[in-house]
Chains A and B, each alone.
Chain A
């Protein structure tokens, strides 16, 4: 009996040592030479493996960063500037600071504003629904409400608001990885500049139908009237296909467009004060009156000069 024990232990020990030696030798012999900086870079990455940078994961990003001649084409939206600075310092590059972005839902067709015209009872997936038909409201461009974006978000930054039937972005959690924008079959989610202290203006509508049709489908729709574009003094607003778009690189956050929008399709968020529409409208009217006066004066001057 004891003999069996001794033999077993002895054989297994010898076998273990032998295999360990072989493994040790194999690990030495076939070691893959890798740039140690890849590990270093990976360590400072957020480790979410979300794919927001366009690479398969954080390690793939690190690998590409080490091999790249500069970091111009790479950006980790999750880690932002902080992480990019660390990566740059490890690799000896310099990177320019990028303004943080955030996902913005460009549809405000709430259940009240956008009446249902039919009932959808198919699979709970925006993609499936979009493939079947234009949706259960009169608007063929707006949110379908099945929550593909919520499912796509790895950071828990999106949730469906049961009252409005629209997704809500939690700005603190959103890393601007863009997964939701890719998941949305209607392309209503856009990555926009977060703005100073989170303040930003955007047109919360994508309806390309003509004014009356858009208005019929949704009370909050952009009707493409162009008032905002006419009012904007910064040349930030364009109206194409009956829908306005605010260029966030040009917008100066004056909120005049928001005040003149007849349907409330333009949203301003995170402003410290509530928008006083009347005051802003008065300001615009005064400015226009002054401009008209100035033009008149110039005209008169011209006439005088001409004799």
Chain B
């Protein structure tokens, strides 16, 4: 099969994977870690520890706060100092558990050996329970709880599991490094998820600019010999790693507006999530580590790293350990340059989904002054969801929510292709994100009203 890609829109930024040769190093422990209770999509977790409690590595310190939520485990051993709000990456207060590190004592149930366990357990429910109990969430960016995604609603059947190794964001190399260094674990993780989903085939999608990863993953697939797993080479194009784009590329199916991937029989998981699933199920290790890239556009190679970090380590400690903020850096970004967020608060801590700290230079990040729209249509060409960003921008400015909904502002995946391609430097994404929020509010309010009306009608019918 040739190289595949998605059918609509997309842009081709330079991939800038400068840190691709940096092997994963384990980050030493700081004196204090701050574990956030909002590390996943959905309701924040509820802390189960109080100041003064002793914890060990891997011990549960918070339970899910709702159906879409996840367990949080202690990444270190030591004493809980405080359970208090602390500012997150965006400066908003979020509940954190502060733990003073004392030694490195692990929960004895965790298998810390490097041996590969290839035998897959038979009991699907037990596997799902283990994934849930390990607090595994999607590490591709959205941090959606994995056990929820692996339990398709009744009537829906998973026809294909897609492992996302596209890593289409420029600069980031954390997924690339784990595919090179730990391919077998990822493949076992994929086989476990296949089992849970009822034995559907699995496609591992990797972009063509990562030949080493393609080679190592293919070798691991061939060596382990699980049925129905194959590596698929994808063309290099952003945002290939977007869930809907990847489904389009691999299965040639489009998820309709407001639909979920499972509607077209797809389940997409990141390769890092697959590794976390492997560790949770085969090694009893909860999700307390992840790999993070430190890189930038004008940074010496000696300051570029791929770190295996414990969740809860403050960003400032990581930056300090990597040699401090370089002089050339004008902006620090957490995540990729396309969808990541500028870091305004280095005291913020790492979370399960942390993927990078980027140092971008003035030249690479400075926003150009906005000029008038010339109706060139580049944004509409670039939009991978087939939207018309210039129109949405205009509708948002006049506040026409009905028209925004008709033009599917709620389908925006916030990939930033429109903003990237706009020659007039109009902050299209910023405006459309606002519009999306407002339209989603309207849709949610309508759904809630409809539900209330249905319930009222039901109650009335029962009363009769």
CA distance A132 to B91 in the complex (A): 10
Question: Do B344 and A118 have beta carbons less than 8 Å apart?
Answer: yes
CA distance A128 to B366 in the complex (A): 17
Question: Do B344 and A134 have beta carbons less than 8 Å apart?
Answer: yes
Question: Do B91 and A135 have beta carbons less than 8 Å apart?
Answer: yes
Q: Decide yes or no whether B156 CB sits under 8 A from chain A.
A: no
Q: Known contacts being A121-B367, A122-B427, A128-B427, is A134 close to B90, with CB within 8 Å?
A: yes
CA distance A118 to B91 in the complex (A): 11
Question: Do B431 and A128 have beta carbons less than 8 Å apart?
Answer: yes
Q: Decide yes or no whether B195 CB sits under 8 A from chain A.
A: no
Question: Do B92 and A134 have beta carbons less than 8 Å apart?
Answer: yes
Which residue of A is nearest B426, CB measured? A123
The contact string, 1 if C-beta is below 8 Å from chain A, for chain B 68-96, is 00000000000000000001011111000
Q: Decide yes or no whether B52 CB sits under 8 A from chain A.
A: no
Specify which chain A residues have a CB less than 8 angstroms from the CB of B341 in the assembled complex.
132-133
Which residue of B is nearest A209, CB measured? B93
Tell me the smallest distance from the CB of A132 to a CB of chain B, in Å: 7
Q: Decide yes or no whether B283 CB sits under 8 A from chain A.
A: no
Name the interface residues of A31-86: CB closer than 8 Å to any CB of B. none
Specify which chain B residues have a CB less than 8 angstroms from the CB of A140 in the assembled complex.
87, 91-93
Question: Do B430 and A133 have beta carbons less than 8 Å apart?
Answer: no
Tell me the smallest distance from the CB of B426 to a CB of chain A, in Å: 9
Q: Known contacts being A134-B87, A134-B92, is A128 close to B434, with CB within 8 Å?
A: yes
Specify which chain A residues have a CB less than 8 angstroms from the CB of B91 in the assembled complex.
133-135, 140
Specify which chain A residues have a CB less than 8 angstroms from the CB of B437 in the assembled complex.
131
Question: Do A117 and B344 have beta carbons less than 8 Å apart?
Answer: yes
Name the interface residues of A89-131: CB closer than 8 Å to any CB of B. 117-118, 121-123, 125, 127-128, 131
Q: Decide yes or no whether B433 CB sits under 8 A from chain A.
A: yes
Q: How many residues in B have their beta carbons less than 8 Å from beta carbons of A?
A: 19
Specify which chain B residues have a CB less than 8 angstroms from the CB of A122 in the assembled complex.
367, 427, 430
Tell me the smallest distance from the CB of B389 to a CB of chain A, in Å: 14
Specify which chain B residues have a CB less than 8 angstroms from the CB of A121 in the assembled complex.
365-367
Name the interface residues of B78-122: CB closer than 8 Å to any CB of A. 87, 89-93
Question: Do B92 and A128 have beta carbons less than 8 Å apart?
Answer: no
Specify which chain A residues have a CB less than 8 angstroms from the CB of B342 in the assembled complex.
132-133
Question: Do A132 and B427 have beta carbons less than 8 Å apart?
Answer: no
Tell me the smallest distance from the CB of B297 to a CB of chain A, in Å: 17
Q: How many residues in A have their beta carbons less than 8 Å from beta carbons of B?
A: 15
CA distance A203 to B370 in the complex (A): 37
Tell me the smallest distance from the CB of A3 to a CB of chain B, in Å: 51
CA distance A144 to B344 in the complex (A): 15
Specify which chain B residues have a CB less than 8 angstroms from the CB of A133 in the assembled complex.
89-92, 341-342, 344
Q: Known contacts being A117-B344, A134-B344, is A123 close to B430, with CB within 8 Å?
A: yes
Name the interface residues of B176-210: CB closer than 8 Å to any CB of A. none
CA distance A131 to B342 in the complex (A): 13
Q: Decide yes or no whether A171 CB sits under 8 A from chain B.
A: no
CA distance A136 to B342 in the complex (A): 12
Which residue of A is nearest B366, CB measured? A121
Tell me the smallest distance from the CB of A51 to a CB of chain B, in Å: 11
Tell me the smallest distance from the CB of A59 to a CB of chain B, in Å: 20
Which residue of A is nearest B91, CB measured? A134
The contact string, 1 if C-beta is below 8 Å from chain A, for chain B 396-434, is 000000000000000000000000000000010011011
Tell me the smallest distance from the CB of B18 to a CB of chain A, in Å: 24
Which residue of A is nearest B343, CB measured? A118
CA distance A128 to B367 in the complex (A): 15
Specify which chain B residues have a CB less than 8 angstroms from the CB of A125 in the assembled complex.
430-431
Specify which chain A residues have a CB less than 8 angstroms from the CB of B366 in the assembled complex.
121
Tell me the smallest distance from the CB of A149 to a CB of chain B, in Å: 16
CA distance A279 to B434 in the complex (A): 51
CA distance A135 to B90 in the complex (A): 8
Specify which chain B residues have a CB less than 8 angstroms from the CB of A131 in the assembled complex.
430, 433-434, 437
CA distance A131 to B87 in the complex (A): 15
Question: Do B431 and A132 have beta carbons less than 8 Å apart?
Answer: no
Tell me the smallest distance from the CB of A56 to a CB of chain B, in Å: 12
Which residue of A is nearest B332, CB measured? A118
Specify which chain A residues have a CB less than 8 angstroms from the CB of B365 in the assembled complex.
121
The contact string, 1 if C-beta is below 8 Å from chain A, for chain B 218-252, is 00000000000000000000000000000000000
Specify which chain B residues have a CB less than 8 angstroms from the CB of A118 in the assembled complex.
344
Tell me the smallest distance from the CB of B331 to a CB of chain A, in Å: 8
Of the A-B pairs whose beta carbons lie under 8 Å apart in the complex, a sample of 16, sorted by A's number, is A118-B344, A121-B366, A121-B367, A122-B367, A128-B427, A128-B430, A128-B431, A128-B433, A128-B434, A131-B433, A133-B89, A133-B91, A133-B344, A134-B91, A134-B92, A134-B344
A-to-B contact residues, CB < 8 Å: 117-118, 121-123, 125, 127-128, 131-136, 140
B-to-A contact residues, CB < 8 Å: 87, 89-93, 341-342, 344, 365-367, 370, 427, 430-431, 433-434, 437
